[in-house]
Structure 1
Amino acid sequence: MSDLHALFGGTFDPVHFGHLRPVEALAQQTGLARVLLLPNNVPPHRPQPEASPTQRVEMLRCAIQDRPLFAIDTRELQRDTPSWTVATLEALRAERGPQQPLAFIIGQDSLLNLSGWHRWQDLLSFAHLLVCKRPGYPAEMGSPEMQRWLETHLARDVAQLHQQPAGAIWLADTPLVDISATEIRRRRRAGLSCDSLLPAAVIDYIDRAGLYLK
């Protein structure tokens, strides 16, 4: 197997088991060597995070301190422009060279909305797409054109992800973990326990920082 690295972006406000566990299962299935967590600065498709960039990075550090699969890439936090995924992948491809296999992890919900992404047609020029299941989302794309696009690029064999630098889509059979950051923030404000939803070290940091109370 090659040294296949993947990126996984999000606001991580806060990071939780719905982020970590499906990606750990995905890594087992596909032989990922490393997953770079990519906190967004200016997310194009959702409201601004409640926690600051520094706080969100610190929560990620707490979450992965005993998870060697993961590392953190803060490049999107250095930009004050929208966090366009395609621009980040283009930069990483330039750094890694044309032959290094590279992948970007998304959820089924993001796949279904991919045609609304900035320069979405260019994504597969720079990386593979690894798609995790999401509770409550259909397996079919919203239009016949997008469904044909998906089927054209589907990888049938994990080896393809390691042998080609980019261009394939892998629909992963990952566990459905129905946790949302919105629900965690709501539970915090209501004074409810979140112990089963995110790592204990992250909860400890949230408590010390006084996050998600107002």
Structure 2
Amino acid sequence: MSELHALFGGTFDPIHYGHLRPVEALAQQVELKRVTLLPNNVPPHRPQPEASAAQRVDMLRCAIKQQPLFEIDTRELQRDTPSWTVTTLEALRAERGNQQPLGFIIGQDSLLTVAKWHRWQALLSLCHLLVCKRPGYAANMDSPEMQRWLEQHLTHDVRQLHQRSAGCIWLAETPLYDISATEIRQRRHQNQPCDDLLPAAVIAYIDHAGLYRD
């Protein structure tokens, strides 16, 4: 079997356990050796980050220092245009060739709205979608057409993720962490503790940089 390479994009403003722990559980399930974190520059569907690009990358470095599973790819931060997933995947596919199995990790909330993504129909020609559960989100797609699309591509066989370069959807049995970066920023603005929500090294960086303060 080829080694499946997985990618995980996000604003990471800041990175927290709701990002890290489900992905670690997913890695165990589908035998991932490496997950590439892709910090977004201009998120297409949400407000601009509070922390700068450099600060968000620094926080990622703090979070993964003791975690050999993770690496960082900053290519999306070099762009001034929106971070379209499909554009990044096309670039990675060109670099890594057509035979390399690639997985893109998303949350269940993103799967349910995938039809709103830029050129979403091209995604499964470029990668597998590896989906982590999210608290409070529906299990089914919102239309019969999208539900059929999901069922056509769904796999329960880990080997297919390693044998095929793209085209499968894997619904992972990952732990649910009801944590959001918005909640962390709000807590920080209100001088409330966040010790249980993100790694101590990231909290130390936030304190040192004076982030998320009024």
**TM-score, normalising length from structure 2?**
0.99
Deviations 1:154-194 (A, max 9, x none): 01201000000000000000000110000000100111110
SS in 1 for 2:14: coil
Give yes or no for the alignment of 1:201 onto 2:201. Answer: yes
Residue 70 of structure 1 is matched in structure 2 by 70
Q: Deviations over 1:142-165 (max 9, x none)?
A: 000000000000012010000000
Distance 1:33 1:3 in 2: 8
1:150 maps to 2:157 = no
C-alpha distance after superposition, 1:107-157 (max 9, x if no partner): 000000000000000000110000000000010000000000000000120
Alpha-carbon separation, structure 2, partners of 1:78 and 1:116: 24
**Partner amino acid for 1:3?**
E
Kindly, what percent of the aligned residue pairs are identical? 78
Corresponding residue number in structure 1 for 2:141: 141
Counterpart for residue 167 of structure 1: 167
How far does the alpha carbon of each residue in 1:42-75 deviate from its partner, in whole angstroms, 9 at most, with x for none? Answer: 0000000000000000000000000100000000
Residue aligning to 2:56: 56
1:4 Cα deviation from its structure 2 partner: 1.1
Map of 1:3-152 to 2, 5 A cutoff?
3-152=3-152
- 1:8-29 CA-partner distances (Å, limit 9, x unpaired): 0000000000000000000000
Q: CA deviation at 1:33?
A: 1.6
Query: Counterparts of 2:156 and 2:183 in 1: how far apart (Å)?
Result: 36
Q: Which amino acid aligns with 1:180?
A: S
Q: Count residues in correspondence.
A: 214
Q: CA RMSD in A?
A: 0.5
Q: Secondary structure at the match of 1:18?
A: helix
Distance 1:121 1:55 in 2: 33
How far apart are the structure 2 equivalents of 1:117 and 1:3? 27
Structure 1: which amino acid aligns with 2:40? N
SS in 2 for 1:103: strand
**CA–CA distance in structure 2, aligned partners of residues 25 and 72 of structure 1:** 19
Structure 1: which 5+ residue stretches go unaligned? none
How far is the alpha carbon of 1:3 from its aligned partner? 1.6
Per-residue deviation, 1:2: 2.5
Counterpart amino acid of 1:203? I
Q: Secondary structure at the match of 1:9?
A: strand
Q: Gaps spanning 5+ residues in structure 2: where?
A: none
Amino acid at match of 1:40: N
> Which secondary structure does the structure 1 equivalent of 2:35 belong to?
strand
For 1:200 and 1:33, locate their aligned partners in 2 and report how far apart those are by CA, in whole Å: 24
Give TM-score, length-normalised by structure 1.
0.99
2:22 partner amino acid: P
Distance 2:88 2:70 in 1: 18
